[in-house]
Structure 1
Amino acid sequence: MIETAEPLSWLDLAWSAALILLAGGLSVVWNLGIHRRLLIAAARATVQLLLLALVLEALFATASPWLTAAAAAVMLGFAGREIFGRQDRRLAGGWGYGVGGAAITVAASVVTLFALTTSVRPDPWYDARYAIPLLGMILGNVMTGIAVGLNTLTAACARETAAIEAQLALGATRWEALNAPIRHALRTGLIGIVNSMAAAGIVFIPGMMTGQILAGQSPEQAARYQLLILFLIAGATAIGAVMAVLLAAARLTDDRHRLRLDRLRGTK
C-alpha cells in the first residue's frame, strides 16, 4: 500500500523559503535589481495561497452551488484583468478588458463544465472540491495563451500597417488582409500548451502528476489525471485564443474593410 506524504510543518516550509533568500542574494551580488520584486512576489504568493486555503475550506464545507459559482466568477474576473494587464497595446475602451474577459470566461467555463459532467463526474457535479481546482488549473494556462495571442496580433497590426493597408487598397477583405497576423497570433498563443504536452513525462513531470504521486496515488492513475488536465487545457486554450484573436481582429477593422489602429491604445 502506498503511504501518503507527511504533512508539511512551518519549519519544513521555512527550509524551502531559504532558497528565495538565496535567489535574492544572487540578485544583489550580480546587481540584477530583482531582489525586491522577488521577495514581494514570494510574500504575495504566501498570503494569497493561505487565504485561498481558508476560502476553499469554507467552500468545501458548504457545498453550495451559488458559492461555487461566485468563487468561479471572481476567478474569471481576475483572469480577465490579468489578460488586460499583459497587453503592450490594448483595445481602447471596454474592449480592452471585454475581449480577453469574454474569451476566457467562455473557454474556461465550457471546458470545466464539460469535464465535470463527463470525465470527472463528482456528486454533486458542482462540488467545489473538484470544480474550483479544476477551473483554476485551466484558467492559469488559458490566460497565458489568450494574452500572448492578443499581444501578438496587436503588435503585428501595428508593425505591418503598410502591408495590411496595401492589401485592403487592392481589394482584399479585412479577413484576407489580416490572415497572416491572425494565424501568427494563434500559433503563438497555442505553442505553450503544445510544448508542454510534447515535453511532459520526458523533460519534466507535470505538477498535477507530481502532487498526486506525493499524495499516495499510483503513478498510472496520476498519469491519467495529468493527461486529462493537459487535454482540457489544450482545448480551452484553443477555444479562448481563437475567440479572443478573432474578436480583436474584428474590432481592429470595420465593415468598410479599413484598418482601425485608432482603436488601440499606445504602447505602455
Structure 2
Amino acid sequence: MNSIWFVFKEQLNNLYLIKRLADFQLRISNHNNYLGVAWEIINPAMQIAVYWFVFGLGLRNNATHDGIPFIYWLIVGISMWFFVNQGVLEGTKAIVSKYNQVAKMKFPLSIIPSYIVFSRFYGHLGLLLIVLILCFFGGYHPSMYSLQLLIYVPYALILTTVISILTSTLGVLIRDTQMIMQSLMRIIFFVSSILYEPKNEIVVTVMKLNPIYFLAEGYRAAVLHHQWYFIEHWHLTVYNLILVTVLFIIGAIVHTRYRDHFADFM
C-alpha cells in the first residue's frame, strides 16, 4: 500500500514538472525536422489514408458502417490509437534512455515515463481537433454527447501512463520488454474494433477485454452515434476502471521494489 501511495503522490506532486519536461521533450523530438511538430499530425494522417484505401476502398468498396461512411467511422475510432501506441512504446524505454541524465540527482523516477507519454498527448489533442472538424463538415456536429470525450480522452492518457510506469520498470529489468511490447501492441491493434467489427460473438467478447475497444467505441459514441456509451455499457466502464487500477497497483509495486537498483541493472 505504501508503494501505491508513494508513486501516486510522486505523480501528483510533480504535475507541473511533468508538463515542463513534456514540452521540452516535444521540442527536442522534432527539432531536426523541417516540419517540426507538424509530423505529429502528418504521420497519423498518412497511416489513416493507407488504412482507408485498403480497408475502406479495397475490402469494403467504401460501404457504410451502421449508416456512417467508413472514413468517418475509421478516423474517429483510430484517432487515439497513435497516441496510445507511441506513448506505450516510448514510455517503455523511458527509464532506460533517460536514467543516466538523472542518476546523480534526487529525481522522482516514476515521472520519467509520465512526461514522455504526456509529450505525445499534445499530438493526440491536435489530431482529435482535426478529426472533429472533418466530422463537422461531414454533418456530424457537436452535441451534449460530445462531453463524453472529457471521460475518454483523460482515460486514454491515464491508461497509457499507467502501462508505461509498469513496462518502463520491466524494460530496465528485462531488456526484451521493448520488443515484447512492440509485438503485443500490434496484436492489440488488430484485436480491437479500430478497423473492423466482427459478427462472431466470441471474437467480440475477446475484443471487449481490450481497453482499446472501449476507447474506440467510446470516441465513436461521443462523435458519431450520439450515445451515452459509458452508461449503456456500464459493465465495460467498470471493467476498464478495474483494469487501470490493477495495472497501476502492479506498476507501483514493481517500480518501488526495483527503483533503488536501477543502476545495477543498467
- TM-score, length basis structure 2: 0.33
Q: Which has the larger radius of gyration?
A: 1
